[in-house]
Every structure is written in C-alpha cells, then in structure tokens.
Amino acid sequence: MSFQPVKFYQTGTFTVGNRLLPPEQRSVQSQEKRYNSINSGHRACQGCGEALGARYAIDAAMEATNGRLICANATGCLEVFSTPYPETSWQMPWIHSVFGNTAAVATGIAAALKVKRQQGERRNIRVVAQGGDGGTTDIGFGCLSGMFERNDDVLYICYDNGGYMNTGIQRSSATPPAARTATTMAVGPEPGNVFGQGKFLPAIAMAHEIPYVATATVADLRDLEAKVRRAMEFQGARYIHILVPCPLGWGTASHDTIRIARLAKETGVFPVFEAEHGEVKSVLAIRRQLPVEEYLRPQKRYAHLFGKTPQVEVIARLQALADRNIRKYGLLEGN
C-alpha cells in the first residue's frame, strides 16, 4: 500500500489519530484547507454511506489535481440529494446528463480537455465520473465498458449500496444474494435475492486490463483517500468501487454505517484490494475475522434469515461466498 500501515498508529479502535501523524501523512479531510467539494447542507439521509464516500473520494481527487477536476454524475441518490436547483453542494464543475451515460459523458469531457491542451490550455484538468451501483453495473455498464476499453483518461467511482435506493430500494445486479429489496421480496420458499447472479464489477474492470482498479469501504477512509490519490497518478481508465452502506435500504441504524462497512470487510463479504493492469497488487487484510452472521444480523434486509426458524443453510451459503473471497484474494495473509 502506498500509505502508512494502519496498525502502527492504532488508537484503541480501528481509527487513526491524525494528531499522531506528521502533517504530510494526515488525511485530506483533516486539513483545514480541504476542498469541501460536496458541501454541507445537502439532503442525504442521516448516516448515508454514499455521501461520506463521495466526500472523501472527491476531495482526495481534488487534492491530487490541485482543484483542477471536472465531475460527471449519474442519476441517483447522490445526484438528487446534492443538487436540486438553485442549490448545489458541488464546489467544482459538475454535470449530470442521464442515468446510463456517465462514463461516456466523462469520455467527452476528457476528449475536449485533451484538445484544449493541444490548443494551449496550460492547466492539466482531469475528469472523475461517479454513480451508484445501478448506474454503474446495470444501466451504465455499456458506456462504462466502452470507456474502459478505449482507456479514456477518466477515473470512474462506483458507490455500491447494493440496490436502487433512490427509486425505493429495488434490486440491482450488485444486490447480494438473499438480501431483501422491493423487487426481491422476503416472501415465498426462497425469500430475498437469488443466489448465483449479480456482478462484481471490480473483477470485470480488471478484465479490461485498465491501469488501475481498487475497492474500498467507508470504514477505511484513509485507505480510500490513498486509493483515489494513487488512481490520479495514472493516465487512462481507472475504477474505484466503494462499498457504502445505506441505512434506509439495508435497514441499519444511521450510526452503524461505518461499523457495517467494516463488518463487510472483516467477514470477507467485501474484498478490499487494488489491482494494476488486471493484476491484484495488494489487499487490505482482514484484521480479526468474523462470521458473516455478525455482518448480516444488524441489517433488516436479512431479517428473514433470523426469524423463528433461522435459515441456517442460507447463512452457510453466504459464509461460503465470504470464505471464497478470503481464499481468492488472500485476505487473511500477512496477519
């Protein structure tokens, strides 16, 4: 990893005290002159993981580009809660076109910027595109894959909360197995989302062999900042997939967003790693492995697994998926 190991500065929880770090190693958010790219006053729900992830990711990208950054945003919660005219939270040039074309809009921005540089523009302005998992893994997938394949100079960030939360919590191709959504109802013989489907987009991004792919969660915000900073060191297509718990959609307490995100990582449900040119380069190791039940139980979207007759088999299948992640990405190594 390109930042100081977390363990060394442990302060009794899993966080890092910025005061213990030399100034150059402090987080972007700890700085008095942070960019506040997405300003306060927006309409996100209390405890929104997406708002938190976006704030850290975009401010880190702004820091890496000295504020010379343009943002393209897909339709979705992030777009809606941050902008209704005449108000906007965005302290940066920002465009929303439609739901499924954000990666392509970003390609157009990057192309225009390239021409402007050839015409004498001296600033090196970069582009970031962002959307939720619906806008990324479903409706925006074609444009995203095209952008990857052309290796356009765009950093695409997906905030994955496992469903269409803006439209009322429907299933997306990133909704995990067994999870209850408005379209994978917790009824019938196999309640919740089906097994064996869904896309893990980071792996698909890696298959395009683009310069940089990373996953992150809002539980490890230093890691997220470091990955955004690293992404901005590359030219070409880059992809960061951030797991962002949604209190509304997941049925979790607002104050548990970071804890739930950490449980996703510590159970192996969500592997945190980074890859360059299609190869995994590093993983964020599990510090203290926990059974998936610890992650599932606090979430009402899995409540049907813990009723009068606990769905032991389903929980075991989910545990097997986590175990596979742990094996596949070597998440226990180095401990």
Partner 1 sequence: MLKQMEGSRAVAEAVALCRPEVVCAYPISPQTHIVEAVGEMVKDGSLSPCEFINVESEFAAMSVAIGSSATGARTYTATASQGLLFMAEAVYNASGLGLPIVMTVANRAIGAPINIWNDHSDALSQRDSGWLQIFAETNQEALDLHIQAFRLAEELSLPIMVCMDGFILTHAYERVDMPTQEQVDAYLPKYEPRQVLDPADPVSIGAMVGPEAFMEVRYLAHAKQMEALKLIPAYAAEFKAVFGRDSGGLVHTYKADDADTIVVAMGSVLGTIKDVVDEMREAGHKIGVLGITLFRPFPITQVRAALQGAKRVVVLEKSMAIGLGGILAVNVRMALSALPIDVYTVVAGLGGRAITMRSLHALFRKAEKDDIDPITFLDLNRAVVDKQLERERATRRSGPAAEAILRDIGVVAAKLA
68 binds partner 1 (CB under 8 A): yes
Helices (H), 84-128: 102-118
246 binds partner 1 (CB under 8 A): no
52 closest CA partner among 78, 87, 73? 78
Q: Which of 48, 143, 155, 272 binds partner 1 (CB under 8 A)?
A: 143
List the interface residues with partner 1, window 278-307 (CB under 8 A). Answer: none
List the interface residues with partner 1, window 147-186 (CB under 8 A). Answer: 149-150
Q: Which residues contact 249 (CB under 8 A, 6 or more apart)?
A: 161, 162, 163, 165, 169, 181, 301
Q: How far is the CB of 174 from partner 1 (least distance, A)?
A: 21
Q: How far is the CB of 104 from partner 1 (least distance, A)?
A: 4
Number of chain residues interacting with partner 1 (CB under 8 A): 45
Distance of CA 68 to the CA centre of its chain: 22
List the interface residues with partner 1, window 73-92 (CB under 8 A). Answer: 79-80, 83-85, 88, 90-92
Q: Which of 17, 20, 31, 114 binds partner 1 (CB under 8 A)?
A: 114
Q: How far is the CB of 127 from partner 1 (least distance, A)?
A: 8
Q: For 51, which DSSP code?
A: H
* Of residues 40 and 118, the one with the C-beta less far from partner 1: 118
Do 176 and 266 touch, CB atoms closer than 8 A? no
* Of residues 130 and 217, the one with the C-beta less far from partner 1: 130
143 closest CA partner among 171, 93, 94, 107? 107
Q: How far is the CB of 102 from partner 1 (least distance, A)?
A: 8
* Of residues 149 and 294, the one with the C-beta less far from partner 1: 149
Q: How far is the CB of 146 from partner 1 (least distance, A)?
A: 3
Distance of CA 291 to the CA centre of its chain: 23
Q: Which tokens in the block code for residue 310?
A: 């606990």
Phi, psi of 133 (to 5 degrees): -70, -35
Q: Which residues contact 137 (CB under 8 A, 6 or more apart)?
A: 158, 160, 172, 173, 174, 199, 201
Q: Which of 23, 32, 33, 115 binds partner 1 (CB under 8 A)?
A: 115
Q: Which of 51, 54, 60, 72 binds partner 1 (CB under 8 A)?
A: 72
Q: Which of 60, 78, 125, 178 binds partner 1 (CB under 8 A)?
A: 125
303 closest CA partner among 197, 185, 189, 218? 185
Please, what's the b/e burial string for 235-268 (b: 16 or more CB within 10 A of its CB; e: otherwise)? ebbbbbbbbbbbbbbbebeeebbbbbbbbbbbbb
Q: By CB under 8 A, name the binding residues for partner 1.
A: 67-70, 72, 79-80, 83-85, 88, 90-98, 100-101, 104-116, 118-119, 123, 125, 142-143, 145-146, 149-150
